[in-house]
């Protein structure tokens, strides 16, 4: 009897982010304190910094490691190119913890037309986190309609 091997390992989704950070130990401490991350695994360099670590945040695995110029892995600079979206039970509390642990606010929490409580922080390592809590149950179609109306008001 043969078992079918899943192409996606247990505990992963089809897309998993890998964050390059200038200080892996500090990043692990921050993500543990702010997002309740649990360290699943880590492989340390001789200096004790993680070359590669896997964290569980909610039901998602996030990987991180130190910059490796030979592999074109560098920590973010002043220009942000990506944003990580984190749904959680209390966006305001997560954003408050992030700020208390050194993140800077990019957008204060507010309830958006999509039915989400939404705020944005830039963590101490240069990564943008959009933190959301669903506060109103609406259909995708209604959310799309509201976003279109909101965008029309912005111009």
- Which class for 91: exposed (0-12), middle (13-18), buried (19 or more C-beta within 10 A)? buried
Fold of 1-70: 3.30.720
Beta bridge partners of 19: 64
Query: Tell me, what's the pLDDT at 76?
Result: 82
The helix (H) or strand (E) run that includes residue 95 is: helix 91-100
What are the tens digits of pLDDT across the range 18-31? 999 999 999 999 99
Domain layout of the chain by residue ranges: 1-70, 82-155
Per-residue model confidence (pLDDT) at position 94:
97
Give the chain's residues under pLDDT 70.
Answer: 1-2
| CA 152 to the chain's CA centroid | 29
Side-chain-facing half-sphere of 51: CA atoms under 13 Å = 8
Query: What is 82-155's CATH topology?
Result: 2,3-Dihydroxybiphenyl 1,2-Dioxygenase; domain 1 (3.10.180)
**pLDDT value at position 1?**
47
Q: Which residues on neighbouring strands pair with residue 107, listed in sequence order?
A: 120
pLDDT for res 83:
86
């Amino acid at each position: 009897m043969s078992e079918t091997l899943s192409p996606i390992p247990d505990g992963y989704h089809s897309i998993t982010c890998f964050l390059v950070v200038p200080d892996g130990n500090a990043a692990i401490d921050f993500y543990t304190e702010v997002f309740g991350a649990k360290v699943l695994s880590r492989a340390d360099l001789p200096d004790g910094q993680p070359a590669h670590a896997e964290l569980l945040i909610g039901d998602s695995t996030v990987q991180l490691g130190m910059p490796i110029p030979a592999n074109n892995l560098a920590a973010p600079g002043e220009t942000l190119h990506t944003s990580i979206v984190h749904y959680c039970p209390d966006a305001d509390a997560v954003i408050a913890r992030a700020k208390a642990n050194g993140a800077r606010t990019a957008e204060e929490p507010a309830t958006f037309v999509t039915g989400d409580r939404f705020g944005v922080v830039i963590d101490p390592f240069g990564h943008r986190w959009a933190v959301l809590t669903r506060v109103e149950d609406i259909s995708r179609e209604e959310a799309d309609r509201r976003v279109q109306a909101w965008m029309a008001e912005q111009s």
